[in-house]
Amino acid sequence: MKPSYLKIFIVFIVLFLGCRQQQQTFTEVEKEAIQSEVKDQFNQLVSALNQKDAGAWSEFYSTDEFLSTICGTDFYGMRSAWVDTITNYFSMRESQHVEPLEVRVTALTPALALMTSEEKSEMTLKNGATIKSKHVFTMLWKKEKDGWKILHSHESWKDEQIN
């Protein structure tokens, strides 16, 4: 009877180990490459922001696997609603300038990265009002067939007094 329990136990262990999700490992060189690639994509996104180019900006958000966006306290669960909102915001601005102060990228897997950043931003609205803010992003990026794309983003800001 004991040999039967041992056999069942061994079969169970083999099945358990075989069914476990395999841990993806990657080297420090690969992690550094991911950090560089995501930072480069983010810098291109900032360039689109500074040009008020909603079409170019929206290309950085995944069309296949978009999860959500939180902007301030507003939640967007559909990419189209998020793109429409930003397109509208851009149309109300005369100019905008976002200057990254610090960008941090953590490679989570070979195809997934977490990015956090801090920016200084200044917007001039079409009515002449100027808004200066400290701004932060948290973004989850995924490497897709067309390159690194944003699956989820969260942004917050604190307006500064203009003297």
Across 125-141, b (16+ Cβ under 10 Å) vs e yields eeeeeeeebebbbebbb
Q: What count of Cα atoms within 13 Å lies in the side-chain half-sphere of residue 12?
A: 6
CA 79 to chain centre: 13
Per-residue pLDDT of the chain (163 residues; tens, 9 = 90+): 455 655 565 655 555 555 555 556 889 999 999 999 999 999 999 999 999 999 999 999 999 999 999 999 999 999 999 999 999 999 999 999 999 999 999 999 999 999 999 999 999 999 999 999 999 999 999 999 999 999 999 999 998 865 4
pLDDT at 80: 97
Q: With contact defined as beta carbons under 8 Å apart, do 65 and 144 qualify? A: yes
- Tokens found for residue 89: 């915001």
Where are the domains positioned within the chain? 27-160
Task: Look at the domain 27-160 and name its fold.
Answer: Nuclear Transport Factor 2; Chain: A, (3.10.450)
Task: State the pTM of this model.
Answer: 0.83
CA 140 to chain centre: 3
| Pairing label, strands 147-160, 130-144 | antiparallel
